[in-house]
Structure formats: C-alpha cells, structure tokens
Amino acid sequence: MPILVGAVSYLNARPLVRGLDRWPERFVVRYDVPSRCAELLHSGEIDLGLIPAIEYFAGDYRIVPDVAVASDGPVASVALFTKVPVERIRSIALDTSSRTSTALIRVLCARHFRIAPEFVHEDPNLEAMVARHDAALLIGERALFAPVSGSAVRKIDLGSEWQGFAGLPFVYAFWAGRPRLVPPEDVERLQEARAAGEHQAHEVAAGFFPDDPVKQQEGARYLRENIRYRFGPLEQEGFAHFVRLAHEAGAAPAPRSLRFYTASDPGSLS
C-alpha cells in the first residue's frame, strides 16, 4: 500500500517533497497548511505528515531522522508585524496555520520581550489584523512577501529573535508518523528527497511561482539563505529547549524523548 503523505503547502516545504515523485507507487501526497497536516495525522487520515514540530507530542509518533524545516538565524517567513514599539504591544493577532509559530511568539513574549499581551486568533490578513490589534503573527508566503516597506508597520523576524535569545537553531516542522507505518526503505527515500531538494532552490521557486520572475528570485534566495533542512544534534537541542519553555508558558504539553524511525527498525529509538 502507498504511504498517504500530508505535506505543507508553503514554499519552504517544497524541497522536501520535490523528489518524491520518483516513487509515485509509494507516496500519495496532499498539500495543506501545517495545522491541517497535524489534524489529518492525529485523526489517522494520513500515514505521515510534515507537522508543526510541537504537534509531535499529541500522539505516539516516530520522526524521520535528519529531515526538518528549520532556521539558524533570520527565517523571513515567520514574523511579528507591529505598529507600536514591542514594549507597548497589548494585543497580538495570531495566524493559527502553525501552532509551533504560535507557541514561539508566546515564549518570546514571556521570556525575551518581557510583555504579556492578549492573543487573539484571526484570519491571516495583515491589514485587517493590525487594524484591530497592536501586532500580528504571520507565517509562510504572507510573511515572506508582506508589503511593509514604507509603512508604519515593522517586521520582526522570529527566527532571528529566537537565535539571539537562545543561541540555538529553531525547528518549525518535521516528518512524523505512527510506528511501523513507514518502512525503512521509505525513510531512506524521504532522506534522499531532502538531500536532492535542498540544492534545487531555483528550480523549486520557479515551479512555485511560474509566472512571477521577481518572486522566483526572492523565493530562491529565501530557500538558500534562510531555511535549513537538517535535524541534527543542534537542531534537536534547540527544539528541546523551546519545548521546555513552551510547556512552562502553557503553550505545549510536557516534553518527552524524541523517537525516530531508523533504517533497520522503523519503530525503534534512534
């Protein structure tokens, strides 16, 4: 039986799935926002999901090793947009497409910015969000291409803020699925797709924005300079640190050990 895969619809996830069409008999891919990918995995409608990293703790899952969507410094596509100085922010409209980013802004407000704003869920429309609130959290292409130049709204890159605060990379998403549903050979295929896709920034951006040469150029630069696709020891350390803080802030369940698929036994610990 093929593996039913829930992939994130954003540009930054495309390098991880670009190569999966080499094995159409093994992977059936659908695209959704990150939070929807998590919902589909939790409900059993997909076998494997590129889920917001914090959603890992909502079930008994295994992680595809050394594959993630991460940053180590500015990320460009996860940002707080504010019309007032940070210390004066009293309300933040949240784009709830990714619960990891929502937890991140809660951690940064409590630990880094030292503010306690009200958080309100809103549709991801920057103009409407900042009309009703002091600031707005946006992710994905809406954040990456937000037209703030020359406006009264300031963009604060949350990847950069996390790195400056914690001194560690930040992990936004990774592949997770139930034990034994992804056999060892398919784990290796997912890793092969990552290895190929992370070096094809121009091709990925051109396919994502086929009729917009400017966005193609900006998108390729973003994939090369802002996004990292490894889930190595430093990324794991950064994720563990974040989850501890998110739990203390009431934005995540209690952390537990990460469990990975392996090439020899897909249900074992790494």
Residue type, 129: M
Please report the domains of the chain, with CATH numbers, ordered by start residue: 3-69+171-248 (3.40.190.10), 78-166 (3.40.190.10)
Q: How many CA atoms lie within 13 A of 194 on its CB side?
A: 21
Instruction: Give the pLDDT of residue 147.
Output: 87
Measured from the Cβ of residue 26, the count of other Cβ atoms closer than 10 Å reads 17
Report the alpha-carbon distance of residue 243 to residue 171 in Å, rounded.
Answer: 10
Instruction: Give the pLDDT of residue 180.
Output: 87
Report the alpha-carbon distance of residue 52 to residue 55 in Å, rounded.
Answer: 6
Instruction: Give the pLDDT of residue 159.
Output: 98
- The confidence band for 96, taking pLDDT boundaries of 50, 70 and 90, is confident
- Which of 195, 191, 201 lies closest to 223 in space, CA to CA? 201
Partners of 81 in beta bridges? 136, 155
List, for residues 125-180, the tens digit of each pLDDT value.
999 999 999 999 999 999 999 988 768 899 999 999 999 999 999 999 999 999 98
List, for residues 185-214, the tens digit of each pLDDT value.
999 999 999 999 999 999 999 999 999 999
